[in-house]
């Protein structure tokens, strides 16, 4: 092989080695870690429901919307005062005694139809409210009470029996009233 060919061959090998980066420079080791993706998303933060005041019904009578007193949710009647108000439909006027308790709700079920004319909303209370409500309902059989939100009566049932389950079933006569009841009862704190 002629000398010029050997020089060209060595030059090509050197240029090739330099061009391909095939030299013996040490590179730091690259490490990576692989972690498993979570199998379930993190739980959504729990929404705390505003406490639901309970007042005894002193008097109730049919009325018309124009005879219902104005209410101001920003300035509610103090719990120890008598409250004169109406129901959500503004068809019944109530005189209510001072608050007897506030129920801590943990869940409000969406309305469910019972019959063609009645809908039910289930309120679930926490353990402390379950105990207090069971004692109250046992001591006040046949009492007329009102569940209040924004100084309006959501529902005013008669206590027919002691409630020990921690679940309170309220019934209304229209789907719209049941939806409004569930929305107001389940309002976040």
What domain range is 172 assigned to? Answer: 52-186
Q: How many angstroms separate the CA atoms of 50 and 185, rounded?
A: 8
132 assigned to some structural domain: yes
Confirm whether 143 is domain-assigned. yes
Please indicate, yes or no, if residue 83 is contained in any of the structural domains.
Answer: yes
Give me the number of domains the chain comprises: 1
- pLDDT per residue over 46-67, tens digit each? 679 999 999 999 999 999 999 9
| pLDDT given for residue 45 in this prediction | 54
Instruction: Please tell me the distance from the alpha carbon of residue 120 to that of residue 172, in angstroms, as a whole number.
Output: 6
Q: What is the pLDDT of residue 81?
A: 97
Report the CATH number that the domain containing residue 169 is assigned in CATH: 3.30.1360
Which residue ranges of the chain lie beneath pLDDT 70?
1-46
pTM of the model: 0.73
Confirm whether 41 is domain-assigned: no
89 domain residue, yes or no = yes
What local confidence, expressed as pLDDT, does residue 32 receive? 35
Does any domain span residue 69?
Answer: yes
Residue 16 lies in a domain: no
In a domain, residue 82? The reply is yes
């Amino acid at each position: 092989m002629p000398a010029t060919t050997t020089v060209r061959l060595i030059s090509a090998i050197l240029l090739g080695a330099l061009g391909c980066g095939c030299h013996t420079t040490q590179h730091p080791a690259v490490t990576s870690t692989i972690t498993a993706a979570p199998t379930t998303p993190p739980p959504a933060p729990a929404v705390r429901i505003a406490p639901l005041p309970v007042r005894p019904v002193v008097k109730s009578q049919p009325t018309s919307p124009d005879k219902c007193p104005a209410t101001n949710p920003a300035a509610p009647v103090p719990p120890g005062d008598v409250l004169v108000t109406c129901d959500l439909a503004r068809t019944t006027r109530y005189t209510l005694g001072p608050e007897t308790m506030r129920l801590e709700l943990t869940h409000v079920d969406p309305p469910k139809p019972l019959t063609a004319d009645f809908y039910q909303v289930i309120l679930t209370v926490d353990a402390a409210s379950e105990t207090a409500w069971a004692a109250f309902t046992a001591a006040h059989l046949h009492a007329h009470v009102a569940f209040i939100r924004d100084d309006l009566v959501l529902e005013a049932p008669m206590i027919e029996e002691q409630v020990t389950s921690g679940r309170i079933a309220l019934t209304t006569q229209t789907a719209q009233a049941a939806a409004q009841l569930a929305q107001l009862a389940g309002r976040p704190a």
